[in-house]
Amino acid sequence: MLRSRIPIFFVWVVKKYTSTCYFSVVVLVFCVAHFIGDKQAPKVTFKKPIGSVSVSGHKFVGCPMPCGVQITRMEHINVLSSNVEYLASRDATIMGSRNGHAPIFLWYTLNRKGYKGFQKEVQKCLRNAYYLKDRLRDAGISAMLNELSSTVVFERPIDEDFVRRWQLACQGNIAHVVVMPSVTIEKLDDFVNELVEKRSTWYQDEKVRPPCIAADIGSQNCSCDLHK
């Protein structure tokens, strides 16, 4: 299993204005605790036209229960806030309640690992993601890895038993692996070796060929018969 936890992600809302109205575009950047300590990484700041930033606590950070932290502008908080008579206070939570244990777990993890600890985990994930991408490409398998990301996208295996065994996230002709701190080089080697072995049987008949996924990952990353 490669997808043991999904990394921290940031969500920001960018307002695009037209002559008559504006609309919000939600951008998911699936990466980043990974931006810790990387000078090339984009900075997430409310000086930009963003509406909110959401950070999952139960994914990359590893809190044992689903939780997260959301930072947003006061104008959005006021929309959700309401006066609660029996509390004699104003409630700004989405569900009207919150888990008191989650902040303790988050505080403990942040203090135990520290900035340097998270930075080392991030660097390990990025190195291993590049290793996986290179091994797939060397084996003639279409694969793509964006800069500053630990999510490797590649051609979807045609054997659903293989997909379930490795718990791959698939859509259409593509699958992806999120390389987390718990994923070792040995596990990546086992995955690639098994995939290569299976592909030799899946595509031994010339009538069945690997899919072209150039539309999904770009022709420069596609290793199908047309883009080799």
Q: What is the pLDDT of residues 143-152, one digit of tens each?
A: 999 988 899 9
| Residue 197 pLDDT greater than 90, yes or no | yes
Q: What is the dihedral of CA 48, 51, 53, 54, to 10 degrees?
A: -160
Q: Are 197 and 26 in contact (CB under 8 A)?
A: no
Q: What is the pLDDT of residues 82-111, one digit of tens each?
A: 888 877 888 887 777 778 898 899 899 989
pLDDT on residue 7: 36
pLDDT on residue 131: 97
Is 142 among the catalytic positions? no
pLDDT on residue 54: 83
Confidence of residue 154 (pLDDT cuts 50, 70, 90): very high
Report the share of the chain in percent with pLDDT over 90.
39
Confidence of residue 38 (pLDDT cuts 50, 70, 90): low
Q: Are 46 and 74 in contact (CB under 8 A)?
A: no
Domains of the chain from N-terminus onward: 9-115 (no CATH), 123-221 (3.90.1150.10)
Nearest one of 65, 51, 62 to 7, comparing CA atoms = 62
| Residue 15 pLDDT greater than 70, yes or no | no
pLDDT on residue 171: 93
| Residue 23 pLDDT greater than 70, yes or no | no
3-state per-residue secondary structure call for 25-78: EEEEEECCCCCCCCCCCCCCCCCCCCCEEEEECCCCCCCCCCCEEEEECHHHHH
pLDDT on residue 46: 84
| Candidates 56, 142, 149, 150; catalytic one | 149
* pTM, full prediction: 0.76
Mean pLDDT (the chain, rounded): 81
Top mean-pLDDT range of 4-13, 31-40, 85-94, 148-157? 148-157
pLDDT on residue 39: 65
